[in-house]
Amino acid sequence: MRVHWSSRIAFVLAAAGSAIGLGNIWKFPYMAGEQGGGAFVIVYLACILIIGLPILIAEMYIGQNGQANAVTAFDNLDKKNSIWGIPGYMGVIAAILILSFYSVVGGWILNFEYVSLFNNLSEMSPEQVESILPDLFDNAGAQLFWHAIFMSLVVAIVYAGVKDGLERWNKVLMPGLLFILGILLVKAFTLDGFGESLAFLFKPDFSKLTATGLLDAVGHSFFTLSLGMATMITYGSYLSKKESVPKVAINVAFLDTVIALVAGLVIFSIVFTFGLDPEGGPGLIFITLPKLFAQMAGGKFLAIAFFLLVTFAALTSAVSILEVPVCFMSEKFKISRHKVTLACGIFIYFTGVLCALSFNVLKDFTILGLNFFDLFDKATANWLLPIGGILIATFYGWKLGRKAINETLKDIKSKALKELFLWTVRLMAPIGVLVVLFVKLVM
């Protein structure tokens, strides 16, 4: 018998743990900052509702009813060697690419946690604090070291298995994350910049929105909900057939969105209180925040808490990414899970090396104008995941069709709601994504 999560809560925590990650705390705030705040946030929220949630439900349904890895789940619902396995294969590739850069960023976080613990930020000059990240970028050895530590933690958890690894660690790390974020929110509330932060995130100025911003919002809605690469299919495959998918999916999408908004609120409260630039880009939480922690009363503890929070969030997501190829290979090729976990971990460590070296040794090596780090990020979030998502929605909405949708929504009485959901999955979500991809291609 296939191993299953021990309870519904365990599944919600694991799926939310996958969704809530660097996407929420690192990517969302800097993207919103670069794209002018409110307008980006509104488009992003619309994407979560119209595109993200339906595809999340589709993935969980396919996993729960296929009861197998990213590729075999489609076979089980269609036929052996179904061509619908393609989004599953794409997912395995996307997982490898995403975890490569994700683990490098995870390494930066560990480095900052180390600095917050063992150096006194408050004794450093603002210039010194500002140079921690660029210094790390220049130092290939240090990046590879931290990337190795992060990847080892991820491998250790996945190695222990679904119940003793994934489930157990999500149960500890997720409540820890919520607790630390709660403390930071209370702190942010007392800062002068809180009001400005609210206005920045929720008062839209659509003149600031560009085609790139639009594509980023769509891509990010996939990235942040862990969609389009069969993560939620894989996690759903460990869910017993008795559980209701829509309820879990709504919980997960809601939690993920709230955490992103709260993280944004906290970060921009600090940014505005200290008159910093919200357009700090990917360095936002690594350059602006430590500078502030260094000047604030109690900043040392805040810094330790903040980077611990991000470490937890990153780990619970990274394990869900590694689980996709591990589950696929161990089931498809009948190799022991332990061996596959180690092999995938080592392989992805090396693809990750390309990302870590993108800032130093391989700085001038670009493909389509992007270094490996940016290439892996953009190719997955903006293309592979959305295209995977379209295929998954099409499989669920057209191939499995009404029957599957009625089964998914069996607890819901309203016929109109069922129809609305059916056509959202069949047309609205895929076309929404296609239009944005098209706009980006021609602009």
Q: Which is nearer to ligand PHE, 26 or 421 (CB)?
A: 26
**Residue with CB nearest ligand PHE?**
23
Distances (CA, A) of 33 to 4, 224, 285, 347: 40, 17, 11, 34
The nearest distance, CB 53 to ligand PHE, in angstroms, is: 14
Q: Is 316 in the site for ligand PHE (CB under 6 A)?
A: no
Based on its alpha-carbon atoms, the radius of gyration of the chain, rounded to whole angstroms, reads: 21
Examine residue 174 and tell whether it contacts ligand PHE (CB under 6 A): no
Please select the residue that binds ligand PHE; options are 72, 221, 231, 257, rule is CB under 6 A. Answer: 231
User: What is the distance of C-alpha 16 from the center of its chain?
Assistant: 10
Question: Cβ of 192: how many Cβ atoms within 10 Å?
Answer: 11
What is the DSSP track for 43-69?
Answer: HHHHHIIIIIHHHHHHHHHHHHHH-S-
Calpha distance 125→131 (Å, rounded): 10
Ranges within 12-71 binding ligand PHE (CB under 6 A):
18-19, 21-24
* Count of residues engaged in binding ligand PHE, rule: CB under 6 A: 15
Query: Is 234 an interacting residue with respect to ligand PHE (CB under 6 A)?
Result: no
Least distance (Å) between residue 317 CB and ligand PHE: 4
Provide, rounded to whole angstroms, the least separation between the CB of residue 170 and ligand PHE: 13
Beta bridge pairs of residue 370: 367
In terms of CB distance, is 230 or 302 closer to ligand PHE? 230
Q: How far is the CB of 296 from ligand PHE (least distance, A)?
A: 27
CB of 239 to ligand PHE, least distance (A): 17
Binding region for ligand PHE (CB under 6 A) out of 35-43, 226-234, 402-410, 427-435: 226-234
Closer residue to ligand PHE, CB minimum distance, 64 or 226: 226
- State in angstroms the smallest separation of the CB of 237 from ligand PHE: 15
Q: How far apart are CA 172 and CA 174, in angstroms?
A: 6
Query: CB–CB of 327/234 below 8 Å?
Result: yes
Nearer residue to ligand PHE within complex by CB, 121 or 321: 321
Asked whether the beta carbons of 202 and 33 are under 8 A apart, the reply is: no
Using the minimum distance from each CB to ligand PHE, give the nearer residue, 18 or 67. 18
> What sign for the dihedral angle of Cα 20, 26, 27, 28?
positive
Pick from 214, 242, 250: nearest CA to 52 = 250
**How many residues would you count in the chain?**
443
- Residues 426, 429: Cα–Cα separation, whole Å: 7
Using CB under 6 A as the binding rule, whether residue 321 contacts ligand PHE is answered as yes
Segment 102 to 161, residues that bind ligand PHE, using CB under 6 A: none
Nearer to ligand PHE, 272 or 312 (CB): 312
Q: Measured from the CB atom, is 229 or 375 closer to ligand PHE? A: 229
Closest to ligand PHE by CB, 67 vs 380, is 380
Residue 257 touching ligand PHE (CB under 6 A): no
**Does residue 317 interact with ligand PHE by CB under 6 A?**
yes
Cβ neighbours of residue 361 closer than 8 Å, sequence gap 6 or more: 140
Rounded distance, CA 352 to CA 109, Å? Answer: 15
Q: Which of 350, 296, 332 is nearest to 76 (CA)?
A: 332
Smaller CB separation from ligand PHE, 129 or 324: 324
With beta carbons less than 8 A apart as the criterion, state whether 61 and 408 touch.
yes
Nearer to ligand PHE, 59 or 130 (CB): 59
Which of these ranges, 74-82, 207-215, 223-231, 278-286, lies near ligand PHE under the rule CB under 6 A? 223-231
The terminus-to-terminus CA distance of the chain in angstroms comes to: 51
Please identify which residue in the block is written with the tokens 């903006």.
Answer: 382
Structure tokens at 414: 């309203």
Pick the binder of ligand PHE from 234, 320, 408, 424 (CB under 6 A).
320
**Site residues (CB under 6 A) for ligand PHE?**
18-19, 21-24, 98, 223-224, 226, 229, 231, 317, 320-321
